[in-house]
A and B are shown apart, each in its own frame.
Chain A
Amino acid sequence: MVGGEFRKTLAVIVVAFVAMLIGPSLIDSYTLTVLIIYGMLALSLGLIWGYGGILCFGQAVFFGLGAYSYAIAATNIGESTVPFLLGIAIPFAFAFLLGAMMFYGRLSDVYLGVITLVVTLIFYKFVNSTAGPEYVIGNARLGGFNGIPGFQTLNVPGDPGAYIYDIDFYYFCGVALLVVYALVRWLLASPFGRVAVAIRENEQRVELMGYDVRFRKTVLFAVGGAIAGLSGTLFASWAEIVTPGMFSLAQSAEIIIWCIVGGLGTLVGPVVGAMALAYLKFLLGQQSLVDTTLVFGLILVLSVLFLPRGVVPTLGLLGRKRRGGGSSRRRAGRGRSGRGRRAMQEDAAKEGADV
């Protein structure tokens, strides 16, 4: 079983690696880089939502926090190694604190959604209002709605003059995504990951078996925050500017759409979903006939109604059916309908009596 999973992971990595090498000959590598970064962002939510059952409406917070941490530190230091690490560590720490606050308070699904949404709004409003010269961290002005431009982008560690950019940066991001993917796979195969999935399926049962559910959920949430922070850091280097828009609800919404369309309960699904939809958005942005928001809204509504499992799991299911049998195992491991929905129905039933 574990051996099979290992082989599957290896196959995914090899295929993705080959795709990464071929990619630049098909699509401009500048665009591809941001697709990879979005893929990583979607992976972070795919991990905590698809495997941990934690629906976070504010994954953009960690994305923006990573980018801002990097930008502020890079402006002050002028070399990218420490800022790069800070761009991962700060979102990790913040996600840990936020997660601890929520999970030790035993907040259930909708309330979790509200709190993460509210935190997103707080960051968005605060950062937007920091245009004045009094908002300074070291040499870095926060810049409000103008964002922070002109910081040191990614360079070879120890040599601030040797920028990693263009095609090199593309390969850097690609390899980073593969490394993150492999690490997440490893995490999920470890006892920690197994218990995380068990928590998603039945929190109470896991708790009664003696596991500290609150701590485990907090750690998983923080790991998701760190991955989102990493993607934010890379995004900052790619865009060479960070803006409050990274904290916006629209950004959070997009991450959720990527995961839903790509397929929850898988890791490849969200990544593929993010890349495909972000590229679609890029293409739609080049024409003015149809409004991009309209198309995305339509995609979200239709995929919730008709493809509740997402594209990748549905394709996998079809492939398996053609080969005959074996689909029952898949059904047992269904991601998002697992704990969340059932528990919610119970909650609704319980609370219904109070209305």
Chain B
Amino acid sequence: MDLAVVVIIQIVYSVALLVLISSGLAIVFGMMRVINLAHGEFMMVGGYATIVSVNAGLNVYFAMLVVAPLVVGILGLIVERLVIRHLYGRLVDTMLATWGLSLLLIGLATLIFGNTTTGISPPIEGFPIGDYQVNGYNLFLIVMTVLIVGAVYAVLSGTRLGLIARGTMQRSDMADALGYNPDKVYMVTFFAGSALTGLAGGLLSPLVGIVPTAGAQFIAKAFITVISGGASVIAGLLSSATLFGLVSQAFTFLVDSMVGEIALLVAAVVLLRLLPQGITGRFFKGGL
């Protein structure tokens, strides 16, 4: 019984983790058809922002929830203005330019922080369930992920801002004619996506040691999750994260974590072969 609870928590946690690391990328890709390959490095920057502000004496929650998104959001704003703005509609070129950007950020971080691992300890203690120890911070991450997805859904479907954003993504010329500057909408959307990425980086910083190359471990998973999800932002993200989280945890539980990782990747290949437009290209079509 205790084991079952622990395993369920573990599965939910791995799904939540995938959602958390992919959400920023999903917004930017789903809304703007831009794949930001510097996504992992944005998370790395968020992590560093958190660690630096905690070391400077700020409250850890403030650092994670406010400083990290703000720093990365502003970084995203700069990047959008300088690079991505010129490449809208050229998917492959954007991928290449942001890949260059990711190398650039790794280089900069190495220059500033050196090639060493830094980290902070999780602010929440673990607690036992029967004979097993459960990491309290993992539960916090699950709650945060639920809140983030809820917030994104609420903003996109319930507010005027979300309506304008969705409208611009569908018909930018029409939005322009109605008086909403698409350039500005893209800018704000990219800012929001980057801020979300920074938030994810901040939230994960107590769990993983941050090195300048830390982004690499996230980008592939985020990229796979978002592309496999397909066109719909939230439905796609949730469905592919659930599928991959289940597959990887099942194999991790049955064999070991190495096999779990590989199973996730193989599942992605099979899925894309069967559903080349991603999950929401076939199911939940037209959802948000």
Contact = CB atoms under 8 A, between A and B. Distances in A.
Contacts of B106: 293-294, 297
Contacts of B93: 304, 308, 341
B265 A299 contact: no
Interface string B185-223: 000000000000000000000000000000010001001
A345 interface: yes
A55 B83 CA distance: 21
A118 interface: yes
Interface stretch (B69-77, B107-115, B130-138): B107-115
Given A109-B92, A298-B100, A300-B99, A305 B83 contact: yes
Nearest to B263: A122
Q: Is the interface of A mostly helix, strand, loop or mixed?
A: helix
B145 interface: no
A294 B111 contact: yes
Q: Is the interface of B mostly helix, strand, loop or mixed?
A: helix
A208 interface: no
Interface residues of B, number: 55
Interface in B76-95: 83, 86-87, 89-93, 95
Interface of A: 55, 101-102, 105-111, 113-115, 117-119, 121-122, 125-126, 129, 249, 253, 256-257, 260, 291-302, 304-305, 308, 336, 340-341, 344-345, 348, 351-355
Given A249-B220, A293-B106, A300-B99, 18 more contacts: A107-B272, A107-B273, A114-B268, A115-B268, A115-B269, A118-B220, A122-B262, A125-B265, A129-B258, A253-B99, A293-B104, A294-B104, A297-B107, A301-B104, A340-B92, A341-B91, A348-B91, A351-B281
5 contacts: A115-B269, A294-B107, A341-B91, A355-B31, A355-B166
Interface of B: 30-31, 33, 35, 83, 86-87, 89-93, 95-97, 99-108, 110-111, 166, 169-170, 216, 220, 223-224, 227-228, 231-233, 258, 261-262, 265-266, 268-269, 272-274, 276-277, 280-281, 285-286
